[in-house]
Structures are given as structure tokens and as C-alpha cells.
């Protein structure tokens, strides 16, 4: 029977973590919580984690959780990593599946992990049922490779098994829309860090079983043709997203379709600016 380590990386999200731990009770065997930077002195998360028999680590501020994943996975007692964010809640169906997974036989070696549906949230309720899909939430850490940069997901040695189950992303705001991209300081930090990372190699970053110095194609396109890629993602990606939302939901949600393209356009422009500054030195 597979044992699961729940791994959560966060920054000052005590109340959301309390909700997550309450909603995932009975779904894991081990808990690892990594804090990005110093925790707030008036709301210590470490005490809450200790009460849940978990282990708590404070890491240098990175403005993103992905650089902490290799460390966090190394601290996990078990190979199967349940990777959830503090502002997420597994649906009843997903909780039942996780509980059954822990009682079943080990999955075949051909399965590196599992993905689920990660529906849009308008601040009060879920507004989609099937889109977007492909959120990797459970994987075997010995069957994936990864480098620690925001927006990067683990790369499977074999394949992901897609499940028709829902992981609810329930932040205290809408989970989609240009406001998340243009108004949140965190989004600007992400784009700055991604652009800086792309000036180097993936192996310069914290990594897990990742040996290649080449970037995955989605990032290499920005490095090779930043301005062309910026325009392509600004105009083509939203149209593609609109089509996919309509196919899955029969809904027209332009604000959701626009976000990814705007975000990646700005990443490419940031990289272009930084790369030109490097050349002038």
C-alpha cells in the first residue's frame, strides 16, 4: 500500500493551511511544510504544523514555492508526494480517491503520477467543471524530474494518469483574470525571477533528478525569440484558451482566457530587456 507525504510550501497563509489540513484529514501519512522566508511572529505556522505531527522548515525568501520543492521532497519520508497549495481544497470525490489510493496496491511503474481538474474560482464559487485540467497533484518523486522555477511542473519519466476529479483552488480572491496578472505584486516578482532564471541554465536552479542543461521548449522559445514569442502568446494563447473553454464548458469566459497569454508576454518582454542589459555590460 502506498504511503503519502503531503508537502506544502507557503508564505504566511496560516488560516488557509488550517483549512487544507482539516479538509485532507485521513488522506496522507506524513506532513512537510516549508515556509518561504520568515514566518509572521504573531501567527506562527510552525506550532500548528507541530500539533499535526508534521515537520516545519523555514527557507530563504524566494518569492515562489518551486525553488523549495527539491528540498521539501528530500525531507518527505515517502516517495509518493501529495503536492497541494495552502489555498486549495480537495473535492469530496478526490478525498475519497486519496483514501482508497492509500489502501490499494502500489501503482505500476509506468505511472509517474496523477493529474486532476483545477476549476476556475470567482471568489465565492467554482465556475467551471472540466477546465482547466492537467493539474499534477500526486506523483512518485523517484519517477519525475524537476528544476525549481515558478510555472515549471514536474516532468514525468513515464506518464501522468489523468483523473476526472476536482481539486478546488479557493483563494480569497478570484483565481483567474487579468487582475491576477497585472495588479498582484506577486505576479511581478514571478516574472522577474523567471526572466532572470532564463539567462542561465536549468541546472543553475535547485533541481530534482534534472541533469539536462537545455530548457524545455516553452522556455527555450522565449530565449530564442523573445519579442516574437511575446506577440504569439499575447494573441494566440487567449484564442486557443477560449476555444478550449468553449469545447469543455460551453461557456465564454474571456477574462480566464486572457491571463496566461498576458503573463507569458510580459515574461518574454522582461527576458528581452534583461538579456539586452547583459549584452551592454
Cell numbers placing 164: 476526472
Q: 519519466: which residue's cell?
A: 157
Range 4-169 has CATH code 3.90.550.10? yes
Least confident range of 26-30, 40-44, 147-151: 40-44
Single out the residue of 160, 94, 169 nearest to residue 126, CA to CA: 169
Q: What is the pLDDT of residue 277?
A: 87
In the chain, at which residue ranges do the beta strands (DSSP E only) sit? 4-10, 30-36, 55-59, 80-83, 88-90, 111-117, 133-140, 144-147, 155-156, 159-169, 207-208
Residue 23 banded pLDDT, cuts 50, 70, 90: very high
Torsion sign (Cα): 236, 241, 242, 243: positive
- Residue-wise pLDDT for 220-235, tens only, equals 999 999 999 999 999 9
Q: How far apart are CA 21 and CA 55, in angstroms?
A: 13
pLDDT at 42: 73
For residues 24 and 31, give the distance between their C-alpha atoms in angstroms, rounded to a whole number. Answer: 11
Residue 279 has pLDDT above 80, yes or no: no
Name, in order, each residue with C-beta under 8 angstroms of 180's C-beta and a sequence gap of 6 or more. Answer: 173, 174, 187, 259
The DSSP bridge partners found for residue 5 are 30, 81
| Inter-residue contact 205 to 148 (CB < 8 Å) | yes
pLDDT at 98 over 90: yes
Q: Where are the domains of the chain?
A: 4-169, 178-280
What percent of the chain is predicted at pLDDT more than 90? 94
Mean pLDDT of 34-55: 90
Tell me: pLDDT of 170 over 70. Answer: yes
Please tell me the total number of residues recorded for the chain in this structure. 281
Q: 113 Cβ partners below 8 Å, 6+ apart?
A: 136, 138, 139, 140, 143, 144, 154, 156, 160, 161
Amino acid at each position: 500500500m502506498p504511503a503519502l507525504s503531503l508537502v506544502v510550501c507557503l508564505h504566511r497563509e496560516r488560516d488557509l493551511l488550517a483549512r487544507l489540513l482539516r479538509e485532507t484529514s485521513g488522506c496522507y501519512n506524513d506532513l512537510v511544510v516549508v515556509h518561504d522566508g520568515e514566518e509572521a511572529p504573531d501567527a506562527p505556522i510552525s506550532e500548528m504544523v507541530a500539533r499535526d505531527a508534521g515537520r516545519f522548515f523555514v527557507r530563504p525568501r524566494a518569492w515562489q514555492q518551486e525553488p523549495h520543492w527539491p528540498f521539501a521532497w528530500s525531507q518527505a519520508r515517502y516517495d509518493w508526494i501529495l503536492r497541494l497549495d495552502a489555498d486549495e481544497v480537495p473535492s469530496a470525490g478526490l478525498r475519497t480517491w486519496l483514501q482508497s489510493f492509500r489502501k490499494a496496491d502500489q501503482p505500476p511503474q509506468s505511472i509517474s503520477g496523477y493529474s486532476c481538474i483545477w476549476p476556475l474560482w470567482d471568489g465565492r464559487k467554482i465556475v467551471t467543471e472540466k477546465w482547466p485540467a492537467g493539474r499534477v497533484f500526486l506523483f512518485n518523486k523517484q519517477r519525475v524530474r524537476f528544476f525549481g522555477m515558478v510555472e515549471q511542473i514536474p516532468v514525468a519519466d513515464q506518464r501522468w494518469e489523468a483523473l476526472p476529479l476536482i481539486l478546488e483552488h479557493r483563494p480569497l480572491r478570484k483565481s483567474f483574470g487579468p487582475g491576477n496578472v497585472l495588479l498582484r505584486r506577486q505576479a511581478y516578482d514571478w516574472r522577474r525571477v523567471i526572466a532572470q532564471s532564463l539567462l542561465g541554465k536549468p541546472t543553475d536552479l535547485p533541481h530534482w533528478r534534472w541533469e539536462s542543461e537545455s530548457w524545455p521548449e516553452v522556455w527555450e522559445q522565449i530565449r530564442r525569440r523573445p519579442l516574437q514569442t511575446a506577440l504569439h502568446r499575447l494573441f494566440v494563447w487567449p484564442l486557443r484558451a477560449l476555444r478550449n473553454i468553449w469545447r469543455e464548458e460551453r461557456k465564454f469566459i474571456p477574462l480566464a482566457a486572457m491571463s496566461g497569454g498576458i503573463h507569458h508576454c510580459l515574461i518574454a518582454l522582461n527576458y528581452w530587456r534583461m538579456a539586452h542589459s547583459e549584452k551592454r555590460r
